[in-house]
Amino acid sequence: MKKKVTAATLLAAKNNQQPQVWLTAYDAGAARMAEEAGVDVLLVGDSLGMVNLGYDTTIPVTLDDMILHTAAVVRGRKNAWVVCDLPFGTYQQSKEQALTSCVKVLQQTGCDAIKLEGGANMLNTITFLSQAGIAVVGHVGFTPQSVKKFGNFKQRAATKAESQHIYADALAIAQAGAVAIVLEHIPSDLAEKITTNITIPTVGIGAGAACDAQVLVWHDVLGLSETIPPFVQPYANLRQDAISAIATWAKDVRNQS
Ligand code: KIV
């Protein structure tokens, strides 16, 4: 039987060069399917807002939205490590605000870790949360909650200066006590350099094959999304399959067959 995944499991996997599989999930059924398929970590991303709640960005997602869906994922999982995203506005104000949000999430959902976006600006908060005994996952590169500041969904680290910032931020986040870090939509050579020089597992999304783990959004892997990011290769075409199945059923209903 598969053992329960922990932060220590993920670190050991990095050190043994065993790539880990992370996938987003937003409900209990998805959690069960992902685990049956061998997924190690279930990330309840605030991508929830875009793929399930119909928003254009992740910004409107609330802590209560995240708690509802994370609790469902926890009910569906057996051994996977479950990570909950802290949504926009629930941790940036102060380290105390971040701790209050984490306590609510951890106590009300039973998840294992929280994820927050940001670099140097989040170091004090990550240290504070880590010292409180919380497993924190960092997130640098393209950070979706800053999309209005970036002005687009394009790859980050377009300049040497930004690339150096992301590199320094990633290493500092590990020093501050994070247990893993998501590297989103950055050049693969930068992700490889971070992965080689950092002490915690890197989790790539659109960051090349050298990361210690890979994560994708459920809807993107399964071809359920209407628009798919340029770095994603869907492994199924479930959106079209669902439309065809529903259309066939609708025809049978109308034929009274
Ligand atoms: O919200 C999310 O799903 C994420 C992943 C894309 C890493 O943060």
58 C-alpha to ligand 1 centroid (Å): 9
Q: How far apart are CA 199 and CA 178, in angstroms?
A: 10
Burial class of 108 by CB neighbour count within 10 A (0 to 12, 13 to 18, 19+): middle
Q: How far apart are CA 61 and CA 55, in angstroms?
A: 8
Identify the pLDDT of residue 160. Answer: 97
To test the ligand 1 pocket, which listed residue (23, 182, 220, 221) has its Cβ within 8 A of the most ligand atoms? 182
Q: How far apart are CA 126 and CA 121, in angstroms?
A: 10
Between vectors from CA 232 to CA 229 and to CA 237, what angle results, nearest 5°? 100
Please tell me what DSSP assigns to residue 120. Answer: G
Identify the pLDDT of residue 2. Answer: 78
Task: State mean pLDDT over 5-17.
Answer: 98
**Contact between residue 207 and residue 185 where contact means Cβ atoms under 8 Å apart:** yes
Q: How far apart are CA 188 and CA 204, in angstroms?
A: 9
Distance of CA 169 to the CA centre of its chain: 18
**Contact between residue 118 and residue 175 where contact means Cβ atoms under 8 Å apart:** no
Residues with CB under 6 A from ligand 1: 24, 43, 45-47, 85, 182, 184, 205, 215, 217
Q: How far apart are CA 3 and CA 127, in angstroms?
A: 29
Give the ligand 1 atom nearest the CA of 182: 7
Q: What is the pLDDT of residues 78-132, one digit of tens each?
A: 999 999 999 999 999 999 999 999 999 999 999 999 999 999 999 999 999 999 9
Dihedral in degrees, nearest 10, Cα atoms 92, 215, 64, 7: -80
pTM summary value: 0.97
Task: State mean pLDDT over 32-51.
Answer: 98
Give the residue, by CA position, lying nearest to ligand 1 atom 5.
45
Does the pLDDT value for residue 1 go beyond 90? no
Does the pLDDT value for residue 223 go beyond 70? yes
Q: How far apart are CA 212 and CA 20, in angstroms?
A: 7
45 C-alpha to ligand 1 centroid (Å): 5
To test the ligand 1 pocket, which listed residue (43, 66, 182) has its Cβ within 8 A of the most ligand atoms? 43
Q: Name the token pair of 42.
A: 């279930």
Domains of the chain: 7-221 (3.20.20.60)
Q: Which of 35, 96, 162, 184 is catalytic?
A: 184
Task: State mean pLDDT over 25-54.
Answer: 98
Q: Is 184 noted as a catalytic residue in this protein?
A: yes
Query: What 3-state DSSP class applies to 74?
Result: helix
Give the ligand 1 atom nearest the CA of 203: 7
Alpha helices in 57-122 (DSSP H): 63-76, 95-109
pLDDT band at 201 (very low <50, low <70, confident <90, very high): very high
